[in-house]
Structure 1
Amino acid sequence: MCSCCRRPCHILLPLLLPLLPLLFLYPSAAPRVKRPAPLPLRFRYDGTFKILQVADMHFGNGLITRCRDVELSEAAWCSDLNTTRFLKRMIQAEDPDLVVFTGDNIFGSSATDAAESLFQAFRPVMESRTPWAAILGNHDQESTMTRGELMSFISLMDYSISQVNPSTVEPTKIDGFGNYDVTVKGAFGSELSNTSIFSLYFLDSGDREMVNGFKTYGYIKESQLAWLRRTSQELQANFQAPALAFFHIAIPEVRDLWFKEFIGHYQEGVACSSVNSGVLKSLVSMGDVKAVFLGHDHLNDFCGEIDGIWFCYGGGFGYHGYGRAHWPRRARVISASLRRGKRNWLGIEAIRTWKRLDDGKLSKIDDQVLWRDDEVEGLD
């Protein structure tokens, strides 16, 4: 007999057994603490630092969200889980030091619960315990969260180093959500191990805007550029470190690359704002940004140089985003390498990039050098 209720235990046990899994799923009602990324970020012992760019996952509701623009033979079984599988394969194959998600992480109109979709979309990188950073695109906020809520939620997820906005600026004095910088220190054992030798800038390019009565895409505002210029100046005062920038929507000047040399595929018109807010002018004046990495236009995966700065698309990553049936989904990898001195590692010697396709071999294409420094700073 069960002493608590005076009923035979063999009667109650069949009723209680189905509830046992809940004890493992929800062991307590205590709030869960975020698992922090190991900071600061730094170069490896072999003098390398690798970034995986994931552009436009367009995650919906997982298994029930169907793929777009795939082969007919794949359509019946293809879902968001293909995006998840691709992300897992890329993390395993490239073993990045940082994963950067450059917007449209979830496809708002298909995601019935933004928080749940974010958990599913980012689960592979959290399970890998790899530090990661994210910015927003123009579709993320179309579900159940505002842009501010999305960035706040993302910043609190395991191993995320994302920020809502810089702590040095009052929230009301900077436009957008997801403007922040991250620095990378030198390798352990080198004389630059406590010096920030690589700068990463993240900017919110917005979603939609009304300009002179017409709807256009969002753009980076002057308040963001003022913060960016000031931050760059402060960082360069300590060390002349090269930098990369990440934002979702391209600037108007990228359209001109159609008439210039580029590496990769330029397969659709650059969908940008009708407003030119002076982003290129600011980046050139700063002097440290060597390349910018974009999303938004899924069928573009090219790199082209404008005024000494490379602008590179990630290419469409997610299977619920539009694409082409005979054009594999893809991801971009960025690798920075240090110069070896007589006794230890010096500053960054070169920055390279390549792409991998979601095919049987994770084929590597378009390997190129974006920047090389013939006079590397550092002690020896």
Structure 2
Amino acid sequence: MAINEVPHFRPTHKSRQLGMLESQKTWIHSTIYLTVIAAFLYLLQLLVSHKLILGHHQHVTIKKQPDLPLRFRSDGTFKILQVADVHYGNGITTRCRDMVETEFEKENAGNVREAGNISMEAGDNIFGPSTSDAAESLFQVFGPAMESRLPWAAVLGNHDQESTMTREELMSFISLMDYSVSQPNPSAEVSDPSKEHLLADIDGFGNYNLNVWGAPGSQLANSSVLNLYFLDSGDRAIVDGVRTYGWIKESQLSWLRGVSKAYQGQNQDKDQSADISFLSATPPALAFFHIPIPEIRQLSPKEIVGHFQEYAACSSVNSGVLQTLVSMGDVKAVFIGHDHTNDFCGNLSGIWFCYGGGFGYHGYGKAGLPRRARVIKVELEKGGKAWMGVQTIKTWKRLDNEKLSKIDEQ
């Protein structure tokens, strides 16, 4: 069977010219199109990079440093304002909780302040689930402290990291804020100071210590007469399949014992004049962390000063914090937060444990019970010629009411 061949089309000279013209038009159009896109992208890149560079220069600021070292006043006093559980969300868009009608009408709600040497933010500074921008909320929370231009310190609670920053990022950010003396973690001691770095083998973030020097003009003006210890008590954990609160780990306690030991006998090297011969060889210390230790539950209402209104929400793990503090011998009082309607102080094995009491209106409270902050006042012994070592430690609370009432002084 014959196969019919399909005749091939042979383009004429004119048709070839038309094809070439169409190809040239297509190539020209493509070139113009690509050139326009390239020019647009180039201009966009210039515009964006210019804004980034300009914005970078516009927002570069240098941290405003506090007046250091921390030291007692010339009247022999050192005062700390402890603010616990602010639970700041997104400002006015976050609802206030457990308030009576008259509290909504106050213009100064949440503005309890008492002139001091340092303010201490005791965790749950921001309320993660209600905070869309952690950095912005941190600026709002610590704004009053920065505006005071006084040193301030902070530790983390169990809610802070539930927003847009990790615990490490939070403490790093806080340490860079104006007038902050907070630290992400202690520095490891190395022989070369230029290679100083943060201690890596320690749990948590926000473990550090601060020294408070003696009163100006005294023989202890250049020595630490009071130490402040800050610890990260964690957030949440799973233990034996059950969810519980965090706790202070052995690595932190080991670091704390080392710091305390370094101060043992510090004052023995001083010139033993009549005025300082009675000084304790080791400066006393105060400790700050957020979540209470399990032994808090052992206290009865008859043994405390203040309100014990809710069950202490602590970890199911007892890591030996109390035993460590007792063995160290220098810690006289511990200041905690976490349980908002507890504001009491109680003595455990010779160490006072004191709640700050809930401060913020974005966290839970008790309607009719004013929010509050705790004040700690440390007083020096008066020598024959100058102020000496620590003599007394006092504390009380300031209520967020019209009179900013002072209660439960002890």
Normalised-by-shorter TM-score class: 0.7 to 0.9
Partner of 1:11: none
- How far apart are 1:64 and its partner, in Å? 1.8
Partner of 2:109: 82
The answer as to whether partners of 1:66 and 1:78 remain within 8 angstroms in 2 is: no
- The superposition leaves residues 312-362 of structure 1 with CA deviations (integer Å, 9 ceiling, x where unpaired) of 000000011100111000010000001111111110110000001111111
Partner of 1:232: 260
- How far apart are 1:172 and its partner, in Å? 3.0
1:130 and 2:159 matched = no
2:174 to 138, 154, 160: 154
Q: Tell me how many residue pairs correspond in the alignment.
A: 334
Partner of 2:126: 106
The answer as to whether partners of 1:197 and 1:347 remain within 8 angstroms in 2 is: yes
- Take 1:205 and 1:27, find their aligned partners in 2: how far apart are those partners? 36
Partner of 1:276: 318
What is the DSSP-based 3-state SS (H/G/I as helix, E as strand, rest coil) of the residue aligned with 1:348? strand
> Which 10-residue stretch deviates more, 275-284 or 63-72?
63-72
What is the DSSP-based 3-state SS (H/G/I as helix, E as strand, rest coil) of the residue aligned with 1:324? coil
- Take 1:73 and 1:184, find their aligned partners in 2: how far apart are those partners? 41
Partner of 1:214: 242
In structure 2, runs of 5+ residues without a counterpart are 1-54, 190-197, 268-281
- Take 1:115 and 1:243, find their aligned partners in 2: how far apart are those partners? 31
1:56 and 2:85 matched = yes
- The superposition leaves residues 263-282 of structure 1 with CA deviations (integer Å, 9 ceiling, x where unpaired) of 00000000000000000000
- How far apart are 1:260 and its partner, in Å? 5.2
- RMSD of Structure 2 on Structure 1 (CA): 1.6
- How far apart are 1:38 and its partner, in Å? 1.1
What is the DSSP-based 3-state SS (H/G/I as helix, E as strand, rest coil) of the residue aligned with 2:340? coil
What is the DSSP-based 3-state SS (H/G/I as helix, E as strand, rest coil) of the residue aligned with 2:164? coil
- Take 1:131 and 1:321, find their aligned partners in 2: how far apart are those partners? 25
1:266 to 308, 315, 335: 308
TM-score by length of 2: 0.79
- How far apart are 1:62 and its partner, in Å? 1.2
1:176 and 2:204 matched = yes
- How far apart are 1:212 and its partner, in Å? 1.1
The aligned amino acid for 1:354 is W
The aligned amino acid for 1:351 is I
> Which 10-residue stretch deviates more, 229-238 or 203-212?
229-238
The aligned amino acid for 1:237 is G
- The superposition leaves residues 193-232 of structure 1 with CA deviations (integer Å, 9 ceiling, x where unpaired) of 0010000000000000111111100000000000000000
- Take 2:263 and 2:67, find their aligned partners in 1: how far apart are those partners? 21
- Take 1:27 and 1:155, find their aligned partners in 2: how far apart are those partners? 21
1:1-380 map, 5 Å: 28-29=57-58, 31-75=60-104, 82-83=109-110, 86-87=111-112, 90=113, 94-168=114-188, 171-239=199-267, 240-258=282-300, 261-368=303-410
- How far apart are 1:30 and its partner, in Å? 5.7
The answer as to whether partners of 1:53 and 1:333 remain within 8 angstroms in 2 is: yes
- Take 1:174 and 1:78, find their aligned partners in 2: how far apart are those partners? 44
- Take 1:252 and 1:366, find their aligned partners in 2: how far apart are those partners? 24
What is the DSSP-based 3-state SS (H/G/I as helix, E as strand, rest coil) of the residue aligned with 1:173? coil
What is the DSSP-based 3-state SS (H/G/I as helix, E as strand, rest coil) of the residue aligned with 1:127? helix
What is the DSSP-based 3-state SS (H/G/I as helix, E as strand, rest coil) of the residue aligned with 2:109? helix
The aligned amino acid for 1:252 is P
Q: Larger Rg: 1 or 2?
A: 2
The aligned amino acid for 2:391 is E
- How far apart are 1:259 and its partner, in Å? 6.2
The answer as to whether partners of 1:293 and 1:311 remain within 8 angstroms in 2 is: yes
What is the DSSP-based 3-state SS (H/G/I as helix, E as strand, rest coil) of the residue aligned with 1:29? helix
**1:74/1:352 Cα in 2 relative to 1: closer, same or farther (>3 Å)?**
closer
TM-score by length of 1: 0.85
The answer as to whether partners of 2:188 and 2:199 remain within 8 angstroms in 1 is: no
